[in-house]
Structure 1
Amino acid sequence: METLLNPSCNTATLAPYTPTGQNPWDVSKIKHAYRRLGFGATILEIDDALGLTPGQFIDNIVDTAEALPPTPAPFWANYAISSFGDFETENEQYIFNWRIQTGNDIIAEQLRGRLAFFWMNHFVTEIESVFYAPFMYQYYNKMQTFALGNFREFTRTMGLDNMMLLYLNGFENTNNNPNENYARELFELFTLGEGNGYTQQDIVEASRALTGYNHWLEPGADIYFDASTFDDGQKTIFGQMGNWDYNDVIDILFQEKETLIAAYICEKLYTFFVSPTVDALIRQDIIAPLAQTLINADFEMVPMLKQLFKSEHFFDERALGVVIKSPIDTIYNFTTEGSFFYDDTLIEAFLYYAGLMGQEVYDPPDVSGWQRDETWINASTLTGRWQLIELYIDYLFGNGYDTTLVDLARELSNDSNDPAYITEVVINHFVAKELHTTTDYDVATDIFKWEVPQNYYDTGQWNLNWTSAAFQVSLLLKHIARMPEFQLK
């Protein structure tokens, strides 16, 4: 596994990728884009993408995500506690329901789902700390609304989000009893990075300007600004003095620190979408130009995202298969790429097992979020990945969806009866790069052939219509799920 986790240095540029005879637009690049920008693609989606240019392909993905409306609000979206009939029971049920809704959204929405989930790990809150369904929905709605929007206005909106005001103690930040928690995380985690361009005094002064959001008409209603708890004295933030309030903090922050903010956000997006490895040359040749694009667009993110996703750098061979799948990636990519059945009951199971493996939706470990990549893999979580895929395959096989396993093998192999070829194309469909040796394919072929006598293969009598074929494909898929290469995207 170790050799797989040390990607070669990607020296390709941000120039738009233009296919050539030596560097063609092919299935591997399309799968790479779909795995990074969403959760994989079906065979039909991959075939359709081959008919587009890389630029058209990326435009379609990004423009579709940008135009996607937020998930419709549930009837309880703006409840106060008094609006519930039986608060304890209903609130817990609504939270459960909204996790399932979110799980469905993330897998179905491709880039918008991917980015909404990314931002949930940036502007972090924890539902277990607040445990209030209306605030959970309102928070998620902002993730969707701003997923590809203006980062400055996204930041401005999140500081006044009801869930955030409770989670990071803004609700407790008053002129008589200041709380620095949100101001610190605003700089350290949300915009600048730890110790980057701010001082403790900036935190103190900013926290004074963030006071006043301390009241609601009743518990569970919107938190609103009250001038009586606002510190209306002079504050000095990043060298500017005035009677600054919440909006002034955001304005001054983005005026004075735009270069640092843009570089911080672009690097975080780069490590998520391209590679966890960033060095001085990447910062100079890739991150800095992306940051300038973000600044030039007044912090609208779409131009910067398109520049990255269309680039030679993103599509470079050395960018393929260098990111470790998260638990959600592991099951969602497998489901999508296999065109396998799922419903709300299975989404519940997927989210449950992802939580056991360290990725509980709406509950990152702390305000710094999941650290991703190598932190996803240890002895227990690796076996958990195998078990989840195996349980899912067994569910499909035992609940009337076994034919979908054969359909996948048949479509990928053009209904071949050659077990070695079937094995090869099924493996290559689910991994970012081909296996290292032919021996690896030979071992997998032997597993796929199962107990069918060799002479049936030798004479060509065996084919994918055999009654054992679905079980054989299930064995192969379980073997693939245990491959080191399967853990990468």
Structure 2
Amino acid sequence: METTTQPSCNTATLSPYIPSGSNPWNVSKVQHTFRRLGFGATTMEVDDALALTPEQFIDGLVDGAMALPPTAAPFWSNYAISDFGDYETENNQYAFEWRLQSGNDIISEKLRGRLAFFWMNHFVTEVEAVFYSPFMYQYYNKMQTYCLGNFREFTRVMGTDNMMLLYLNGFENTSNNPNENYARELFELFTLGEGNGYTQQDILEASRALTGYNHWAEPGADIYFDSATFDDGLKTIFGQEGAWGYDDLITILFEQRGNLIANYICEKLYKFFVSPSIDAVITQNIIEPLAQTLLNSDFNLAPVLKQLFKSEHFFDERALGVVIKSPIDVIFNYVNEASLFYDDTLMDAFIYYAGLMGQEMYDPPDVSGWQRDETWINSSTLSGRWQLIELYIDYLMANGYDALLVDLARELSNDSNDPAFITEVVVNHFVSKELHTLADYDIATDVLKWEVPQNYYDNGTWNLNWSSAPLQVSLLLKHIARMPEFQLK
């Protein structure tokens, strides 16, 4: 994993954040948490969080995510090919439906949704390469089940996942014809990091231990272990010799390279949830203590996440607005923070347009996943972000949901009739940090004022009950989506 070595501005520690007069518990910190640990929150959810201590808030998010049961299995979840009536039609339909279900889960499940999606970009598979709806469901179910659980067992279960066995060629890895693909990615991408603590010989020996998962009762059924295709010879893995099999490999890997795994995973979590910039000070003061927590907890993830999310470091002002939103962030955060309507038709559109902007759900570009942050932004994807928000708002306006836009402005401004104040609170609701200059707010205020003559504002006649108010608020919301500050979380 490539590490950005530029110095970090955030010098706060892992000590628990305790609000004070100079560092208060406020709306921006709560929104920061919801944007990073989920996909935004309604104003009511923000208000509810402010009534808690930061510790209570984080405990509630983590414990709530851990207690959430996996999404119910569809009736086709364990189909083999022969179970389909019309395979081509039904498989396409089920895959489409499950992608929608995943989108609906991710946008609404807060930390569980965020983490399930995070790990889909860690233990990567591609539906484009293995287009089979039951395996798609089974893979996603593991993301939900293990995303806050034990990382060692998460790693163990992913190596025998049907979709993974096909995607990274484990299905082809036999004693007579070894395939190194999964062993290589297990070390390079899933546990240790590229070139970190393993050799080519370790890959070769590990690939032998991974043999045997080469059969199914029929295409599309569960892939099972067959000792007839397993290499039962002696293997030396990280200095340990034996006739090792799959479970042995995972056990040895975590016993012999636990420190490296813990550092690699904690760095990846840090870069995603806090900042893509890491320097030697961050490594020493933040990453290494988190890694020790992971080791002390026997690779259980929840204690690490709680330690990080409760820290002064996570809540530091310099942690706000330093991560570029992904395409999914852009639309999902927007929907949640504005309490706007969506249904399966719109969710399909959200997923489609996110794919056009470089983040197609279930289809990262390759086994290394989306590289995130600055890779999300270029001239075409930036304009795509603007257009997506504009199309969405136009849809709401054309389909009877325009009152929702005014309701948001009314709620945030306490039904003010001051366009400058309305603009300020609506803008600040969607950005992590206030705009750079007062002139930026003035420009946005002029957008809200639209073509209404100035005298109606001067004498207080205009208000959010005017027939033009939905259009005016919609223009402001479109304007906000084009702000550089809106692209950050």
Q: Does the TM-score normalized on the shorter chain lie above 0.5? A: yes
Work out whether residues 7 and 279 of structure 2, in 8 Å CA contact, stay in contact via their aligned partners in 1.
Answer: no
Distance 1:445 1:162 in 2: 54
The within-5 A match list for 1:83-482 is: 83-482=83-482
TM-fit CA distance, 1:162: 0.1
**1:336 alignment partner AA:** N
Distance 1:384 1:456 in 2: 36
Distance 2:452 2:8 in 1: 42
Distance 1:126 1:40 in 2: 27
TM-fit CA distance, 1:8: 5.8
TM-score by length of 2: 0.98
**2:481 alignment partner AA:** A
Distance 2:85 2:49 in 1: 50
Aligned partner of 1:25 in structure 2 is 25
- Paired residues in the alignment total 484
TM-fit CA distance, 1:317: 0.2
Work out whether residues 419 and 445 of structure 1, in 8 Å CA contact, stay in contact via their aligned partners in 2.
Answer: yes
In structure 1, stretches of 5+ residues that fail to align are 1-5
Distance 2:252 2:8 in 1: 40
- Deviation per CA, 1:283-341, whole angstroms, max 9, x where unpaired? 10000000000000000100000000000000000000000000000000000000000
TM-fit CA distance, 1:206: 0.3
TM-fit CA distance, 1:399: 0.5
**1:389 alignment partner AA:** I
Quote the RMSD (CA, aligned, Å).
0.7
Aligned partner of 2:488 in structure 1 is 488
- Deviation per CA, 1:371-417, whole angstroms, max 9, x where unpaired? 00000000000000000000000011110000000000000000000
Distance 1:147 1:344 in 2: 25
Distance 1:108 1:43 in 2: 15
Distance 2:252 2:118 in 1: 26
Distance 1:310 1:88 in 2: 48
SS at match of 1:163: helix
**2:414 alignment partner AA:** N
Runs (4+) of structure 1 moved beyond 3 Å? Answer: none
TM-fit CA distance, 1:471: 0.2
Distance 2:71 2:372 in 1: 27
- Deviation per CA, 1:237-293, whole angstroms, max 9, x where unpaired? 000000000000000000000000000000001000000001111110000000000
Work out whether residues 7 and 318 of structure 1, in 8 Å CA contact, stay in contact via their aligned partners in 2.
Answer: no
SS at match of 1:348: helix
Distance 1:465 1:220 in 2: 58
Distance 2:320 2:272 in 1: 13
- Deviation per CA, 1:126-153, whole angstroms, max 9, x where unpaired? 0010100000000000000001000000
Aligned partner of 2:3 in structure 1 is none
Distance 2:480 2:395 in 1: 17
User: Is 1:80 equivalent to 2:63 in the alignment?
Assistant: no
Distance 2:104 2:50 in 1: 27
**1:95 alignment partner AA:** A
SS at match of 2:129: helix
Work out whether residues 409 and 415 of structure 1, in 8 Å CA contact, stay in contact via their aligned partners in 2.
Answer: yes
TM-score by length of 1: 0.98
SS at match of 2:128: helix
- Deviation per CA, 1:20-60, whole angstroms, max 9, x where unpaired? 00000000000000000000110001111111000000000
Aligned partner of 1:16 in structure 2 is 16
**1:154 alignment partner AA:** F
Work out whether residues 275 and 319 of structure 1, in 8 Å CA contact, stay in contact via their aligned partners in 2.
Answer: yes
Percent of pairs with identical residues:
80
Aligned partner of 1:3 in structure 2 is none
TM-fit CA distance, 1:7: 9.1
Work out whether residues 266 and 290 of structure 2, in 8 Å CA contact, stay in contact via their aligned partners in 1.
Answer: yes
Work out whether residues 341 and 401 of structure 2, in 8 Å CA contact, stay in contact via their aligned partners in 1.
Answer: yes
In structure 2, stretches of 5+ residues that fail to align are 1-5
User: Is 1:34 equivalent to 2:30 in the alignment?
Assistant: no
Work out whether residues 8 and 318 of structure 1, in 8 Å CA contact, stay in contact via their aligned partners in 2.
Answer: no
